[in-house]
Amino acid sequence: MALENINREILDQIPNMELASELAPYIENSPLARMGFDAKLATVLPDNLAYATTDPNTQESLLGRYIQPDYPVEELDPLISRSFLNYSRNPLDSIIAFSQDGSRSREDLLSTLAHESAHRGSRLLPPENYNKYGMMGVIDETRVRLNDYYNGSPATKDDALDYLNRLDMTVEEANDMTRYDEIQQSAANYLKGLNRPYESAPEVEPSIGENLLSYFK
Pairing of strands 59-61, 64-67: unpaired
pLDDT surpasses 60 at 207 = no
Distance CA 60, CA 174 (A): 24
pLDDT recorded at residue 210: 42
Nearest by Cα to 143 from 130, 127, 128, 154:
130
Contact criterion met (CB below 8 Å) for 33 and 121: yes
Q: pLDDT tens-digit profile of 8-32?
A: 455 456 667 888 889 999 999 999 9
According to DSSP, the β-strands at 64-67 and 94-98 are: antiparallel
- pLDDT tens-place string over residues 146-175: 999 998 888 889 999 999 999 999 999 999
Chain centre to alpha carbon of residue 82:
21
Three-state secondary structure call for residue 60: strand
Provide the residue type at 95 as one letter: I
- Dihedral over Cα of 198, 126, 171, 177: its sign: negative
* pLDDT score at 213: 37
Distance of CA 9 to the CA centre of its chain: 23
β-sheet bridge partners, residue 94: 67
Instruction: Provide the 10 A C-beta neighbour count for residue 62.
Output: 18
- Bridge partner list, 95: 42, 66
Question: What's the chain's average pLDDT?
Answer: 77
Beta pairing partners, 61: 50
Rounded to whole angstroms, how far apart are CA atoms 168 and 138? 13
φ and ψ at 105, to 5 degrees? Answer: -75, 160
Q: What is the pLDDT of residues 135-146, one digit of tens each?
A: 667 888 999 999
pLDDT tens digits for range 174-196: 999 888 999 899 899 888 877 55
**Number of Cα atoms under 13 Å in the Cβ half of residue 86:** 11
What pLDDT does residue 86 have? 65
Q: Write the Ramachandran bin of 125: left for phi over 0, alpha for psi from -120 to 50, otherwise beta.
A: beta
